[in-house]
Chain A
Amino acid sequence: MFVQQLVNGIILGSIYSLIALGYTMVYGIIMLINFAHGEIYMFGAFAGMILVVFYDVPFFLAFLLAMAFAGLVGLTLEYLAYRPLRRSTRLAALISAIGASIFLQNLALLIMGARPYTFPSPFTPRVYQSTLLTISKLEIIILAISFLLMIGLTFFIQKTKIGKAMRAAAQDIDTASLMGVNVNQIISITFLIGSALGAAAGVMVGIYFRTVTPTMGLMPGLKGFVAAVLGGIGRIPGAMLGGLLLGIAEVMAAAYISSQYRDAAAFAILILVLLFKPAGLVGSAIQEKV
């Protein structure tokens, strides 16, 4: 029972991790909580569903196209809603983010209507069983894709020239530009990657629950935010760890306390982290950049 719940928690958590990465990468560079990130996730899910259901695109191709599409949406969002406010107060950008979130959700409602769409799973519903654990093929694939994406991102950030420029910009944006880094370009790339990861999460949740709706981004968006704060906002490894821990905590709360407390557990964690370790698990003491 415990092992089963643990694995369920990791599956859910890996989804949260992917979403949390989008929040944390953006925050790391421009100190903005992109509250429209949940809507990017929803756009990704819709793009994947539309391609598979209406255009018969093979699943993995649709998956990649959905990531690319959401990446472009994120990039456009930054360009239209955040870039003009770059030199304004952080509150102005935050309000713009909330506005963008409402706008994108209503745009989806307008185009697609309020009814849920079915997103059939492309995988045979095979289930693997042992005494400790029951796991479906779909769940294994979700785990594999999530971890591959996270490993790929880690490699990109640590080893490539652009990845290093992203880290440098996150530590000191002005000095990065003195090194020859085009900061606007780096911010665009950050939105592109963060949004693409969010879309990957959206598509996987779409096939897991077999539905997509225009409001599906709200709760996972908030949970991804909690996961990012839990790990230490702005810290990429923190987002991965925070997502996994949040997923596990949520599943454990549902299994051992009551499934009604599922969401309560997530937000209780947010409150506890903010009270006792506001810099997050991986975060060091908050450094104000001068």
Chain B
Amino acid sequence: MLTVEGISTYYGNIQALKEINLKVEEGEIVTLIGSNGAGKTTTLLTISGLLKPARGRVTFCSRDITGVPPHNIVKMGISHVPEGRRIFPQMTLMENLEMGAFSRTDKREIKNDLEKVFHIFPQLKGREKQLAGTLSGGEQQMLAMGRALMSRPRLLLLDEPSMGLAPMIVKEIFQIIEEINSQGTTILLVEQNAQMALKTAQKGYVLETGRIVMQDNASSLLENDDVRKSYLGE
């Protein structure tokens, strides 16, 4: 479904990604783990079009999407939940969800999808008029994910959904990720919480200073000594 071939992305003169290759098949949860600054977020930003790679190619559903502006990539079916949630704090919860459906015009279907989002995230229901900036961290994460689902993505990019959240809520978020996946959305998950990520995903990539250094089934990575030492704190 998604193929990333040899992308190199720069911030000015600094090379953040060095010829990254990765593949996500339809229906999978694939995770990208690695320490701070390894290039996980940069990889997602390059896929969703906010950054342009200097070299390499991104293909989605057999279309070359390299260099396509982000607002067109959403329309093709990739939705990105950015790091730090990035909800619109001065807009209401409902307006945030409406923004998620910005590229769509099918009003009736949008309404159905709103219901679905409230079904997946019952905590959001009844608070449609609340300003999003006043929600708790966990609720903001749910809103950001709900907002991303409102574009009806085929592929969902999740950047650190567990960041700054209490362990109980992290668990809940990961359950929801599995639920969203079981309803047919493919997921590319970036996480520092490697343990949770590898337990949830089928496949994993390990990123180190801009390079993919390991790739395997998630269960094998969980058993791998290097991964255990570097990322699982054992």
Q: What residues make up the interface of A, taking CB atoms closer than 8 Å to B? A: 161, 164-165, 167-168, 171-172, 174-183, 290
Q: Give the residue among A175, A178, A179 with the most B Cβ atoms within 10 A.
A: A178
Q: Check B19 for interface membership: any CB of A closer than 8 A.
A: no
Q: Is B74 an interface residue (CB 8 A)?
A: yes
Interface residues of B (CB under 8 A from A): 48-50, 69-71, 74-75, 79-80, 82, 84, 86, 88-91, 95, 98-100, 102-103, 147, 151
Check B89 against A175 for contact (C-beta < 8 Å): no
In order of increasing CB-CB distance, the 8 nearest A-B pairs are A180-B103, A180-B74, A175-B86, A177-B70, A180-B102, A179-B102, A171-B88, A179-B99
Give, as a whole number of angstroms, the nearest-CB distance from A77 to chain B: 23
Q: Are A290 and B84 in contact (CB under 8 A)?
A: yes
Of the candidates A172, A176, A182, the one whose C-beta lies within 8 Å of that of B69 is A182
Listed by A's residue number, 26 A-B pairs whose Cβ atoms lie within 8 Å are: A161-B102, A164-B98, A165-B102, A167-B88, A167-B91, A168-B88, A168-B91, A168-B99, A171-B88, A171-B89, A171-B91, A174-B86, A177-B49, A177-B69, A177-B71, A178-B50, A178-B70, A178-B79, A179-B99, A180-B74, A180-B151, A181-B102, A182-B69, A182-B71, A183-B71, A290-B84
B103 pairs with A179, CB closer than 8 A: yes
* Of the residues B49, B88, B103, contact of A175 by C-beta under 8 Å: B88
Partner of A164, one of B48, B49, B70, B91: B91
Given A164-B91, A177-B50, A180-B75, A172–B102 Cβ distance below 8 Å? Answer: no
Chain B's interface: helix, strand, loop or mixed, by majority?
loop
Contacting residues, chain A, for B98 (C-beta < 8 A): 164
The CA-CA distance from A179 to B103 in the complex, in Å, is 7
Given contacts A164-B98, A172-B88, A179-B100, 18 further A-B contacts (CB under 8 A): A161-B102, A164-B99, A167-B88, A168-B88, A174-B86, A175-B88, A177-B69, A178-B48, A178-B82, A179-B71, A179-B99, A179-B102, A179-B147, A180-B71, A180-B75, A181-B71, A181-B99, A181-B102
Chain B residues whose C-beta falls within 8 Å of the C-beta of A290 in the assembled complex? 84
Nearest-Cβ distance from residue B143 to partner chain A, whole angstroms: 12
Taken together as a complex, chains A and B put the C-alpha atoms of A165 and B70 apart, in Å, by 15
Contacts of B50 in A (CB 8 A): 174, 177-178
Q: Judge whether B151 and A171 touch: CB under 8 Å.
A: no
